[in-house]
Amino acid sequence: MTARPISDARLTILGTGTSSGVPAIGCECRVCTSGDPRDRRSRTAGALQFIDAGGQSRCILLDCGPDHREQALRAKLTRADEILVTHAHVDHVWGLDETRRYNVMQHGPIRLTTDAPTLQSLRTIYAHILGGDPGPNGDDSWVAEIETRDVRPDEPFNCFGLRVTAVELLHGRMSVLGFRIDAPEGTGGELFPLAWCTDVSEISAAAAEALAGVRTLVLDALRDRPHPTHFTIAQAVEAAGRLGAGRTILVHLAHDLTHEELLARLPEGISPGFDGQVLN
Ligand SMILES: [Zn+2]
Ligand SMILES: [Zn+2]
Ligand SMILES: [Zn+2]
């Protein structure tokens, strides 16, 4: 890939919550009833915006969960050129219907990139978009227009001038993708290399090698109590140190700790994310 300059890159952390969201429905715990807006955690997702070499603004969505509409309104998103999907769990993909608004605004389809097993699950969930079954109303239905490409771990691909590498991570017994995103050398500021690693309970030696040296790491850290499919906060801190990340933002947070409590006890360079946070 020839190096192309990109500019004005920024990552908006659209959501930082675990699958139930925080507040969780019906929960009256001190985190769910906190008055700190940073303790309102919608489902984990991100938006990477930048200007490409041709001067066109671009937006790459990192997952697209059930809170996407509210997240997009808050971040004032006006386009989506690419959706990178980590895995087909509800909290990461049940916002795909909402992307039809971007089709209207940008007069064209959106590309969705993930691995083959995830695509297969998405074709079942989204038969009306990806499965060739628009339903009895056929073309009268307004559905998203999405083009798919499947990628394999460790085979870098181009995303409007960015070099993206899918990295295989373990989410319990399930294999999911993390994404490492590199800007062409000399461009992109402090953000890159950037890694998006939500929903992970183990990073293999091979994955750690692929992620080594990232400057910005967005990483799963559910809570203190062990969980079979997510890193605890201690495990996330250990992994961030092992990868040598410059700064680490913790996401997929449950309702066990407030933002303030978590911030106060994390080592330098690691902080809890919050909805609407912008990194550049
Ligand atoms: Zn999740
Ligand atoms: Zn709660
Ligand atoms: Zn998951």
What's the 199 CA to ligand 2 centre distance in angstroms?
20
Q: Quick one: pLDDT at residue 160?
A: 96
Name the DSSP class of 261: H
Q: Quick one: pLDDT at residue 214?
A: 96
Q: Quick one: pLDDT at residue 4?
A: 56
DSSP strand pairing (194-197 vs 82-84): unpaired
Edge-to-edge strand ranges of the sheet holding 82-84: 146-150, 110-114, 82-84, 57-62, 45-51, 7-15, 277-279
What's the 88 CA to ligand 3 centre distance in angstroms?
7
Q: Quick one: pLDDT at residue 132?
A: 80
Helices (H), 107-252: 116-125, 127-130, 205-211, 233-243
Q: Quick one: pLDDT at residue 5?
A: 83
What's the 148 CA to ligand 3 centre distance in angstroms?
21
Q: Quick one: pLDDT at residue 2?
A: 52
Architecture in CATH for domain 7-279: 4-Layer Sandwich (3.60)
Give average pLDDT by consecutive 10-residue segment, the chain, 280 residues: 76 98 98 98 98 95 98 98 98 97 97 98 94 84 94 95 97 98 83 97 98 96 98 98 96 98 98 97
What's the 266 CA to ligand 2 centre distance in angstroms?
21
Would you give the end-to-end CA distance of the chain in angstroms?
A: 24
Q: Where are the domains of the chain?
A: 7-279
DSSP strand pairing (7-15 vs 277-279): antiparallel
Residues 94, 89: Cα–Cα separation, whole Å: 8
Residues 212, 242: Cα–Cα separation, whole Å: 8
Q: Quick one: pLDDT at residue 194?
A: 97
Q: Quick one: pLDDT at residue 135?
A: 84
Q: Quick one: pLDDT at residue 140?
A: 87
Q: Quick one: pLDDT at residue 138?
A: 84
Ligand whose nearest atom lies closest to the CA of 33: 2
Q: Quick one: pLDDT at residue 188?
A: 66
3-state helix, strand and coil shares in percent for the chain, rounded to the nearest 5? 25, 30, 45
Ligand whose nearest atom lies closest to the CA of 34: 2
